[in-house]
């Protein structure tokens, strides 16, 4: 089979993605396209290898959230390499640690894009880190695959967003709280940086203008904050129908353990988080969040063959106690979507890869069918899971169909 017929055969691509550890026939030396043809912009690509960057927080307060992304991207790249790589080339990773520090993210992004000239970067978690690297990525015409759910209000020709934006996550969650939990009063809580603040601004607008509800409190705390006693007392005093939370990183451990110690538990208080996945629950403990809810597009407990194969491979590589959260799964999609776009384009050149990405479908993602919208975000489902004592989620809501990404919602 020629390379051209390979990249056009969506059925074969879907099959390979469904069982990513099933080896695909490798390109022969004669069929591997010449480097000069597939790399016209001086990226770090040679006849045998293509180099990509990995830029996450391996240390600091965000490591609890970002370690899963590092692992998932490495798993995907390992599987791709076993299938013969990308355009006949093995993927080599240049890993950098953003260290939970936004200036460090910018410094490392500059190194990867200007010095290392990687073909793509898989990285970031917080919006602060993404905003720090975005000018560098755009200036150097690099390509970033960003895996985290985020506030939206952004669209870049140099970024593929594999997580949800606010209309897919936040608005769906608020509508569910209003309908299923009859919530009319809300207490908004978040870490103090761009994603929680912008997200809660969108949430407040939706609560007040669409749901005709009321925000009875709004609080933000620095990343790494560990003392939530005063906040908990305020929530108990104001008795909101629902707490809407966007606390991130290591602060989640203190927050939810202190909530339970104060008697604020799932059987007494409705709480929905936008930022706790199975990864964070490893540190928090499912028993400390039992009965609370989380709004994500993916949960490890999803029952479909693609997810079963993915979770099995993840645990085989990282151990039986390893868990997979929403951002981890979205990070796993990045290398596969990049591979598909590169081979569709027949080139590693960023402009050609992004052009080839529009409309690209992945029918066998662990979360289910997804596709890349022309605005570089993914069509995906919205789901709400309830925390179980074992650190997993029971899915209690799933949108009927894929939700079109709308990073610039009118009126918000």
Average pLDDT, the chain: 93
Reported pTM: 0.90
What is the mean pLDDT of the segment spanning 21-38? 68
- Among candidates 412, 326, 409, 330, which has minimal Cα distance to 372? 330
Would the pLDDT of 2 be above 50?
no
Would the pLDDT of 24 be above 90?
no
What is the mean pLDDT of the segment spanning 54-81? 96
Would the pLDDT of 144 be above 80?
yes
Would the pLDDT of 27 be above 60?
no
Do 403 and 381 form a contact (C-beta atoms < 8 A)? yes
Expressed in angstroms, the distance from the first to the final Cα of the chain is: 50
Cα angle for residues 65, 68, 70 (degrees, 5° grid): 110
Would the pLDDT of 170 be above 90?
yes
Task: Give the three-class secondary structure for 194.
Answer: helix
Structure tokens at 248: 């991130």
Task: Name all domains of the chain by residue range, CATH numbers in brackets.
Answer: 39-162+302-378 (3.40.50.2300), 165-300+383-396 (3.40.50.2300)
CA separation, residue 401 to residues 31, 140, 321 (Å):
40, 37, 32
**Strands 49-56 vs 368-372: parallel, antiparallel or unpaired:** unpaired
For residue 29, the model assigns a pLDDT of 55
The pLDDT tens digits for 236-263 are 999 999 999 999 999 999 999 999 999 9
What is the mean pLDDT of the segment spanning 9-20? 40
For residue 19, the model assigns a pLDDT of 42
The pLDDT tens digits for 323-350 are 999 999 999 999 999 999 999 999 999 9
Q: Which long-range contacts (CB under 8 A, 24 or more apart) does 177-180 make?
A: 177/241, 177/242, 177/244, 177/270, 177/272, 178/211, 178/213, 180/397
Would the pLDDT of 125 be above 50?
yes
Do 380 and 297 form a contact (C-beta atoms < 8 A)? yes
For residue 30, the model assigns a pLDDT of 53
The pLDDT tens digits for 397-409 are 999 999 999 999 9
The pLDDT tens digits for 209-231 are 999 999 999 999 999 999 999 99
Task: Please tell me the least confidently modeled range out of 14-18, 40-44, 108-112, 143-147.
Answer: 14-18
- Give the whole-angstrom CA distance, residue 37 versus residue 326: 37
Element (H, E) at 344: helix 326-345
């Amino acid at each position: 089979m020629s390379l051209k017929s390979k990249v056009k055969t969506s059925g074969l691509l879907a099959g390979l993605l469904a069982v990513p550890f099933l080896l695909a026939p490798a390109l022969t030396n004669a069929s591997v396209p010449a480097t000069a043809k597939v790399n016209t912009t001086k990226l770090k690509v040679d006849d045998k290898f293509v180099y990509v960057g990995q830029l996450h927080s391996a240390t600091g307060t965000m490591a609890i959230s970002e370690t899963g992304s590092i692992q998932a991207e490495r798993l995907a790249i390992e599987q791709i390499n076993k299938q013969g790589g990308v355009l006949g080339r093995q993927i080599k990773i240049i890993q950098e640690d953003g260290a939970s520090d936004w200036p460090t993210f910018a410094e490392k992004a500059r190194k990867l894009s200007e010095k290392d000239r990687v073909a793509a970067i898989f990285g970031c978690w917080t919006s602060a880190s993404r905003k720090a690297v975005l000018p560098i990525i755009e200036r150097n015409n690099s390509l970033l695959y960003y895996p985290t759910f985020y506030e939206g209000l952004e669209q870049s020709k140099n970024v593929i967003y594999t997580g949800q934006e606010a209309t897919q996550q936040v608005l769906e969650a608020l509508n569910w709280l209003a309908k299923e939990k009859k919530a009319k009063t809300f207490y908004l809580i978040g870490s103090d940086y761009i994603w929680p603040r912008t997200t809660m601004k969108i949430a407040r607008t939706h609560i007040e203008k669409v749901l005709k509800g009321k925000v009875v409190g709004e609080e933000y705390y620095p990343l790494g904050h560990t003392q939530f006693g005063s906040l908990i007392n305020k929530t108990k005093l104001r008795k909101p129908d629902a707490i809407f939370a966007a606390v991130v990183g290591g602060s989640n451990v203190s927050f939810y353990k202190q909530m339970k110690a104060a008697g604020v538990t799932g059987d007494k208080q409705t709480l929905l988080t936008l930022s706790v996945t199975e990864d964070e629950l490893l540190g928090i403990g499912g028993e400390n969040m039992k009965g609370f809810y989380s709004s994500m597009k993916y949960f490890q407990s999803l029952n479909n063959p693609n997810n079963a194969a993915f979770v099995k491979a993840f645990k085989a590589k990282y151990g039986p106690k390893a868990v997979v959260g929403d951002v981890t799964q979205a990070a796993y999609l990045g290398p596969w979507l990049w591979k598909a776009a590169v081979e569709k384009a027949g080139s590693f050149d960023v402009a050609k890869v992004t052009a080839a990405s529009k409309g690209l479908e992945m029918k066998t993602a662990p979360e289910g069918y997804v596709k890349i919208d022309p605005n570089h975000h993914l069509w995906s489902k919205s789901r709400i899971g309830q925390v179980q004592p074992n650190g997993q989620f029971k899915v209690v809501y799933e949108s009927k169909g894929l939700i079109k990404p709308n990073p610039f919602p009118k009126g918000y």
